[in-house]
Amino acid sequence: MRDKLNNLKNEAIAMAIGAEGAAELERLRVQYLGKSGALAQIAKQLSGLPSEEKKDLGQLFNDVKSAILQALESKSQTDNPQLTTNNYDLSLPGTPAPAGILHPITVVTRELNGIFQSLGFSVADGPELENDEYNYNRLNLPADHPARDLQDTLYIKEPDVILRTHTSSVEAHILAETKPPYRFVIPGKVYRYENLSVANNAMFFQYQGLAVGEGITMANLKSTINTFIRLFYGPNRKSRFRCKYYPEVEPGVGVDIDCPFCAQKGCAVCKQRGWIEMLGAGMVHPNMLRQVNLNPATISGFAWGMGLDRIVMTRYGINDIRSLTNGDLLYNI
């Protein structure tokens, strides 16, 4: 019986390999695996054998059946014209994989860096985890200053370790560690406890600028900012300078551009004012210069800090600041 099963297996496999067409394969399947096929006849003979011999030959019977079935299926797949590579032009390009692009904030940051580098500025960086001294005290914001109420929020370890609330902290490091003259721009993330809205987020990006040397005036600041607006937005963008208080500068100004979302008619992005505040700026406060042993009578400078997210929004027509960082690709569609 054992030899009979092995011979039947070899015969069926050989027949399957030489078969031509689906009809021939189906005939062989019925011949060997059908209800009245060769294996079914052997199964009837196995039923009359002693239990020990039946158990031994039963395993071989199952192996033979599986081998014949596998041979028939393998031949069927080989002969199926839908599965052969002959119907495919392997020289054609494959399906392209989707590729990502740079984040709008990265794109705009690099563009701004290029603009200000053409004006003689270098790009600087600094720590996002800051201490009270450089985030506040060296920026003319002592512990009892009321302006701290808007920023004195996200402490990692009280009373001294904080997530920086502005890139002005890097300005404080530069003033303390670098000898003038110099010009730097500082892009980076900052953190504040904010009520989230279309115009405000708890984590956002700023773009800081600092120039210190002899004979620097407000005229240099206005020329630099106006040049940036002209190169970045084009010659038709409106801008305005207005007096505004910032502790780290004296005098201070706010710089606005006309709202591109409502044509100055008023909307949620510009808070119904028709203007979007792009940056705060001014002349470096004399107290900050004195802290690093610079004489305000001979050394002066200007600084600004702009909301990089809002610049990105006006560039790409994005009307919700949260869509820049929420990770939902369909959020702003």
Q: What CATH number was assigned to the domain covering residues 104-324?
A: 3.30.930.10
Q: What is the DSSP letter of 142?
A: -
Query: What is d(CA 294, CA 179) in angstroms, rounded to the nearest whole number?
Result: 9
What pLDDT was estimated at residue 83?
Answer: 46
Q: Where residue 333 falls among pLDDT bands split at 50, 70, 90?
A: very low
CA-nearest of 186, 156, 191 to 172 is 186
Which pLDDT score is estimated for 112?
96
Q: What is the pLDDT of residue 330?
A: 59
**Band of residue 217 on the pLDDT scale cut at 50, 70, 90:** very high
Structural contact between residues 277 and 255, judged by C-beta atoms closer than 8 angstroms? yes
Report yes or no: 214 and 182 within 8 Å, Cβ to Cβ. Answer: no
What pLDDT, on the 0 to 100 scale, is given for residue 190?
92
**Closest to 60 measured CA to CA, from 46, 80, 70:** 46
| pLDDT (mean) for 236-245 | 90
DSSP H stretches of helix in 234-305: 286-291
Q: Are strands 182-191 and 122-123 parallel, antiparallel or unpaired?
A: parallel
- Please say if the pLDDT value at position 274 is more than 50: yes
Q: Is 228 exposed, middle or buried (0-12, 13-18, 19+ CB in 10 A)?
A: buried
- The domains of the chain are located at 2-87, 104-324
Contact 301, 121 (CB under 8 A): no
Task: Quote the Cα angle for 333-190-291, to 5°.
Answer: 155
Contacts of 285 (CB under 8 A, 6+ apart): 140, 247, 248, 249, 250
CA distance 180 to 169: 18
The model's pTM is: 0.65
- For the stretch 50-102, pLDDT in tens is 877 777 788 888 888 888 888 888 877 766 555 444 566 777 777 777 777 88
Phi, psi values for residue 268, rounded to 5°: -65, -30
Answer whether 308's CB lies under 8 Å from 109's CB: yes
DSSP per residue over 279-297, as a string?
EEEEEEPHHHHHHTT--TT
Residue 1 has pLDDT above 80, yes or no: no
Does residue 181 have a cis peptide bond before it, meaning omega lies within 30 degrees of 0?
yes
Render pLDDT for 21-38 as a digit per residue (tens, 0 to 9).
Answer: 888 888 888 888 888 888
Residue 125, pLDDT score:
94
Orientation angle between helical segments 2-18 and 51-79, nearest 10 degrees: 10
Closest by alpha carbon to 207, among 314, 306, 310, 103?
306
Question: What pLDDT does residue 300 have?
Answer: 96
Q: pLDDT band for position 264 (50/70/90)? A: confident
**Rounded Cα distance, 137 and 305, in Å:** 18
What are the structure tokens assigned to 328, written together? Answer: 């939902």
- What is the structure's pLDDT at 253? 95
How many CB atoms lie under 10 A from the CB of residue 197? 13
Average pLDDT for residues 258-272, to the nearest whole number? 83
Residue linked to tokens 């201070």: 252
Q: Given this model, what pLDDT does residue 266 score? A: 87
What residues have CB less than 8 Å from 11, skipping those under 6 apart? none
Range of weakest confidence among 3-12, 14-23, 84-93, 287-296:
84-93
Report which of residues 222 and 330 the model is more confident about: 222
Question: What average pLDDT does range 2-9 have in this prediction?
Answer: 80
Rounded Cα–Cα distance for residues 69 and 13 (Å): 9
Tens digits of per-residue pLDDT, 159-209?
Answer: 889 999 899 999 999 999 999 999 999 999 999 887 777 777 878 899 999
Of 179, 214, 184, 215, give the one whose Cα is nearest residue 293.
Answer: 179
How many whole angstroms separate alpha carbon 269 and alpha carbon 275? 9
pLDDT score at 142 = 82
Give the pLDDT mean for 268-296. Answer: 90
The residues facing 306 across adjacent strands are 207, 279
Report pLDDT for 186: 96
Whether residue 159 is preceded by a cis peptide bond, meaning omega within 30 degrees of 0, is yes
Higher-pLDDT residue of 13, 1? 13
Query: From the CA atom positions of the chain, what is the Rg in Å?
Result: 39
Confidence at residue 84, expressed as pLDDT on a 0 to 100 scale: 47
Q: Tell me which of 52-56, 134-138, 204-208, 295-299 is least confident.
A: 52-56
